[in-house]
Structure 1
Amino acid sequence: ILMSLLLIATIFTWYSLFTPKPLPVNVSRDSRWFTTQPASTCQRAENMVFIKTHKTGSTSLHCIFCRYGYANKLSFVFSTRNTINGHIRKENLNQSIILPPIGGIVNSSSKYNILTGHVSYKRETINSFMEANPIYVTILREPAAQVESHMNFFRHRKQVMASMQAFLKNPRTPGDAESRNNQLREFGLSFESTLNETTVNETIMRLDQEFDLVLILEYFDESLILLKNLLCWGFENIQYLAQNQRTTRETITDTFRHN
């Protein structure tokens, strides 16, 4: 028994000596690069804007932000006209359509901590409602998979496929807007502007500078690690259950993806 106890004690001693300690990390917003910093310099973010995109895994991410905000008693930008989930769809963001912040009243000078939902991306307007210097994040998805998910989830496959065929014959033919770069249009680009390659490229470059992090659905878990570091969160803050997943998906052919 004595020898067994000595052996166990020796194993624990070796483990404590040679097992590397976890290194707390944080993301410096002064740089585009992810850097390690001492834990004392890491302060949990409380002001953030998540621009929710359609059929990109965004509802799973939305729930992560909601849980964090509820747990920390933070104020959300939620619509009074959408009692299901508070999203602000197809209308301009203004004080008359959103709930007052915690402890505030409608049309007061009180600000909000979190915007997480479908909303037209107009940075100056959004900033006017938010506490100072919010962190901006969004999520995107491989285009062919996103179009397949979008058209089948919303049951307009026929219109999208017809529009795509018309586009192949003549790129300037009017068609269903959901088949035309609909992820980029979530950030305020008009349908007509998606036909201008220069405008598209300039918009992408501008968004690259304006957003602190763009998550990618195909690397969702890896993206969450980057988000955790950016916001100075713990692992418990990024636990999730996948939301709005379909049980069956349409096979994406090489031809469909190429088109």
Structure 2
Amino acid sequence: MTFHSTEQTQSWRRVCLSVFLILLLVSFLSYLITDDHLTLKISHQAHQTGMMANQVAQPYHDQTVIDEGKKEEKMSTCERKKTNIAMVKTHKCVSDLMGTMMLRFGEKHNLEILLPKQGGSNLGYGPDHSFNNAIPSRLKSGKYQMMALHTMYNYTNWTNIMEHPFDLVGLVREPLAQFQSYFSYYKFAEEIQLQFTVDPRDSFDFFIRRYPEQIGGQLPHRIKHYPLINTMLYDYGARGLTRPEQFKSLIGQIMRNFTVILVAEMFDESLVVLKHKLCWDWSDVAYVTTNQGKYKFEFRNETLLEERRGHHRRFAPYEYMFYSASLDKLKADIKIIPNFFDQLLEMRSVRRKITEWCYTNKTSVDSITIKTKFSKTDQTVFRKQDCTKMRMKIVDYTIKLIQDRYHYTPTEHWDGEFGEHP
């Protein structure tokens, strides 16, 4: 039999007490860490791995700026979809895809959609545009439930023509990428080549390094007709603004008034937020990419991109301020949506299955049902007829809607220029 001294016994007791306290502390910390925190960490790692290679926006992080006075949302318990939607169809910001998505939702739910009599994707421009070219509403109120085509945002005018309450949806894109696409889409290179005798491949750099001080007054008349400074903010009503405080005030109003602003570089993330805030289904935000970067500049020289961004920021600084504020708003929305990254993974899985089914289904089956966790009925149903609509060009979709609803075919199409309809 072995006997321990009193000192040895006390030392052993201290060791046991220390181990007990450590185990108690670990148990307490485990209690504090909720499943949501663990899910967020794991999903965040998956999200970082799957980020698009050409993404300009910084990855999501916790240093999020939330607008003053904005209350934190709880998990959506909505049962009824929001159906009064007005969208700013910002030029070259995934706007045709989003416009088609909105029209598809409006047609599916038989909403009164604001459509131009002449067809096409433009409703008219100007800060005080009165929509005289719109097909009259069939509702007793004379108002509309869905607006998704090109026009200049004006909160007062939109309030007068939209059913209440309504939600505002916006679109933005990294400013340099948006302007390059804009420059290419409207074929500025050819005219700058002729005007200044430069290689068309160098026309963008020639323009962005010299505009507006050196060449602003020498530009061809057609190019002068387009907004060239703050091309995104122009769609949000920034016509005639000159002072910094005016732009800051407008950007602040947009951040407060808009339910969601979709960011092209975080498009899938934006759609999860849209689905959450509007109480939509995954089938409502399904999409296929039809414009495969057609108007992007091909090369990926990061040094040149930063140089171009510096030149662009010089004459369009408020585009970058607007884009930064939109990113902050999106990240704040992401932060308060429960299980966000799990929802993002499910959304991408649903979209992939719908896309595969749409392209491979040769049977008479008219819908596909997908089991989903983050939906009101634990399943997502997508109709075969929506496969075709999802791939339609927006101009063709507006013509189809006019034919189906109003039984005539528009003969005039006004889709290329800014300004009031002639």
Normalising to structure 2: TM-score of the pair? Answer: 0.48
SS of equivalent residue, structure 2 residue 254: helix
Instruction: State the alpha-carbon separation in 2 of the partners of residues 216 and 206 from structure 1.
Output: 18
Residue 257 (structure 1) aligned with residue 296 (structure 2):
no
Identity %: 21
Q: What displacement does 1:254 show? A: 1.9
Q: Are 2:247 and 1:211 equivalent residues in the alignment? A: no
The one-letter code of the counterpart of 1:142 is E
CA distance in 2, matches of 1:32, 1:58: 29
Cα gap change, 1:113 to 1:223, in 2 (>3 Å): same
Which residue of 2 is the match for residue 230 of structure 1? 277
2:142 corresponds to 1:110: yes
Is 2:85 the counterpart of 1:36?
Answer: no
Superposed CA deviations along residues 183-240 of structure 1, whole A, max 9, x for unmatched, are 01111112x52x4222211211111111111110000001000000111011111101
Q: Structure 1: where are the runs of 5+ without partners?
A: 1-19, 21-29
* Partner SS for 1:214: strand
User: CA shift at 1:153, angstroms?
Assistant: 1.1
Q: Look up the equivalent residue of 2:154 and give its one-letter code.
A: K
Quote the Cα distance in structure 1 between the aligned partners of 2:71 and 2:171: 17
**In the alignment, which residue of structure 2 is the partner of 1:166?**
210
Deviation of 1:100 after TM superposition, in Å, equals 2.2
Q: Which amino acid aligns with 1:257?
A: R
Paired residues for 1:109-148 under 5 Å: 109-148=141-180
Query: Structure 1 residues 118, 32: CA separation in 2 closer, same or farther (over 3 Å shift)?
Result: farther
Q: Of the candidates 227, 231, 235, which is equivalent to residue 186 of structure 1? A: 235
Kindly provide the amino acid, as one letter, of the partner of residue 227 in structure 1. Answer: L
Q: Could you give the per-residue CA deviations for residues 74-130 of structure 1, whole angstroms, max 9, x where no partner exists?
A: 11011113x234x2133554353211224x5xxx74221101111111111111111
Work out the CA distance in 2 between the residues paired with 1:202 and 1:132. Answer: 25
Q: How has the CA–CA distance of structure 1 residues 31 and 197 changed in structure 2, closer, same or farther, with 3 Å as cutoff?
A: closer
Report the secondary structure of 1:63's partner residue. Answer: helix
Q: Indicate how the Cα distance of structure 1 residues 156 and 230 shifts in structure 2: closer, same or farther if over 3 A, else same.
A: same
**Bigger CA drift: 160-169 or 43-52?**
160-169
1:75 equivalenced with 2:112 (yes/no)? yes
Amino acid at match of 1:143: P
Partner of 1:4: none
Aligned to 2:130: 94
Structure 2 CA distance for partners of 1:112 and 1:222, relative to 1, 3 Å = same
Q: Per-residue deviation at 1:167?
A: 3.9
Instruction: Give the C-alpha shift of residue 243 in structure 1.
Output: 3.5
C-alpha distance in structure 1 between counterparts of 2:212 and 2:130, whole Å:
39
More helix by percentage = 2
Partner of 2:409: none
Helix, strand or coil for the counterpart of 1:96?
A: coil
Contact kept? 1:141, 1:216, Cα under 8 Å = yes
Using the TM superposition, give the Cα deviation of residue 180 of structure 1 relative to its aligned residue in structure 2, in angstroms. 1.0
Name the counterpart of 1:10.
none
CA contact (8 A) 1:57 1:243 kept: no
CA-CA distance at 1:163 after TM superposition: 5.1
Q: Whole-Å Cα distance in 2 between the matches of residues 79 and 169 of structure 1?
A: 38
Distance in 1 between residues matched to 2:281 and 2:292, nearest whole Å = 26
Q: Which residue of 1 aligns with 2:96?
A: 59
In structure 2, give the amino acid aligned to 1:88.
L
Q: For the residues of structure 1 that align with 2:79 and 2:252, how far apart are their CA atoms?
A: 29
Q: Which runs of 5+ in 2 are unaligned?
A: 1-35, 37-68, 193-202, 312-422
Maintained 8 Å contact 1:160/1:178: no
Separation in 2 of the partners of 1:254 and 1:234? 39
248 and 77 in structure 1: CA distance in 2 versus 1, 3 angstrom threshold: closer
- Give, as a single letter, the amino acid of the residue that structure 2 aligns with 1:165: R
Q: CA deviation at 1:46?
A: 1.0
Q: Does structure 2 conserve the Cα–Cα contact (< 8 Å) formed by 1:52 and 1:117?
A: yes
Deviations, residues 33-64 of structure 1 (Å, cap 9, x unaligned): 443043xx432111010110000101111111
Cα shift at 1:147: 0.5
Q: Distance in 1 between matches of 2:295 and 2:161?
A: 40
> Contact 1:228–1:234 at 8 Å: present in 2 too?
yes
What letter is aligned with 1:58?
A: S
Contact 1:160/1:179, CA 8 A, preserved across alignment: no
For the pair shown, which has the larger CA radius of gyration, 1 or 2?
Answer: 2
Number of residues paired by the alignment?
Answer: 220
- State the distance in 1 between where 2:143 and 2:235 align: 24
Q: Which residue of 2 aligns with 1:15?
A: none
Tell me: CA distance 1:160–1:129, structure 2 relative to 1, closer, same or farther (3 Å). farther
